[in-house]
Amino acid sequence: MLKSKGNKLDRLLKEPSFTSTEAQAAGISRTTLVRYLRAGKIERIGYGLYRGTKAPKFDDFRWEDLYIATSRVKGGIICLISALTIYELTDEIPRQFWIAINHRTRHRSTESIRIVRMRNTKLGKTSKKLGTFELPIFDRERCIVDAFRYSTTEIAVKALKKAFAKSGKEKIDPEKLRKYAKALRIDITPYVMAVTT
């Protein structure tokens, strides 16, 4: 029978996921991790990523892979095509999870994760509840501005049109959009005028 090594491990086992680095910081060796795996107390959900078998799981499996991908990227924020898909502002089907990181952070793109290095990762950063968990994501306005910066004009304009067509809480804030575009030094005024007139 395995005994937990105090409150740090107990907390890790209740988290939706934890990394081997976080386990080591809690005083759990790789050997102990292997024993926990064999005993069925934890499960491996990705490379170097684990979850306690009694930890809360996603109630909507559509988002579990995105959660795992975001968890694997330190400081990662859901952006561009992945974010536009979540906000229902694109018809594109993302082949990879688009994750933004600070331009000074080291992380490579993988087969399933597309890394986008950005100088300003604070502007428009928010979180969104997907299934059971809150995930870091850029807000709608930031995603549209970024689409003009990193994607095709066609994708960006379609997202802009869809955003202006929405109502209620999903309605885009034109002032915030203008402010973000100015801060990120991209002129989207002609496109906004074309869509709104």
Task: Say how many domains are in the chain.
Answer: 2
φ/ψ of 23, rounded to 5, equals -65, -45
Residue that wins the pLDDT comparison between 80 and 54: 80
Has residue 65 been placed in a domain? Answer: no
Cβ contacts of 42-45, under 8 Å, gap ≥ 24: 42/13, 45/17
Has residue 100 been placed in a domain? Answer: yes
The first and second tokens of residue 127, run together, are 């979180």
The pLDDT of residue 57 is 67
Could you tell me the residue range of the domain that residue 42 belongs to? 7-52
Choose among 48, 52, 24: nearest CA to 40. 52
Has residue 124 been placed in a domain? Answer: yes
In this predicted model, what pLDDT tens digit does every residue of 138-147 receive, in sequence order?
999 999 999 9
In this predicted model, what pLDDT tens digit does every residue of 6-22 receive, in sequence order?
567 777 777 777 878 88
Has residue 1 been placed in a domain? Answer: no
Assess whether 16 and 113 both reside in one domain.
no
Question: What is the Cα–Cα distance from 123 to 143, expressed in whole angstroms?
Answer: 11
Has residue 2 been placed in a domain? Answer: no
% helix / strand / coil in the chain, to the nearest 5? Answer: 45, 20, 35
Has residue 67 been placed in a domain? Answer: no
In this predicted model, what pLDDT tens digit does every residue of 20-52 receive, in sequence order?
888 888 888 888 888 888 888 888 877 777 878
Residue that wins the pLDDT comparison between 56 and 99: 99
Assess whether 97 and 40 both reside in one domain.
no
Has residue 68 been placed in a domain? Answer: no
How would residue 3 be classed by pLDDT, with cut points 50, 70 and 90? very low
In this predicted model, what pLDDT tens digit does every residue of 145-187 receive, in sequence order?
999 999 999 999 999 999 999 998 888 999 999 999 999 999 9
The first and second tokens of residue 190, run together, are 């002609």
In 3-140, the DSSP E strands lie at 18-19, 42-46, 49-52, 77-78, 97-102, 113-118, 125-130, 133-138
Assess whether 47 and 78 both reside in one domain.
no
φ/ψ of 106, rounded to 5, equals -100, 120
Identify the sign of the CA torsion 81, 87, 88, 89: negative
Question: What is the Cα–Cα distance from 4 to 13, expressed in whole angstroms?
Answer: 10
In the chain, the DSSP E strands lie at 18-19, 42-46, 49-52, 77-78, 97-102, 113-118, 125-130, 133-138
Q: State pTM to two decimals.
A: 0.75
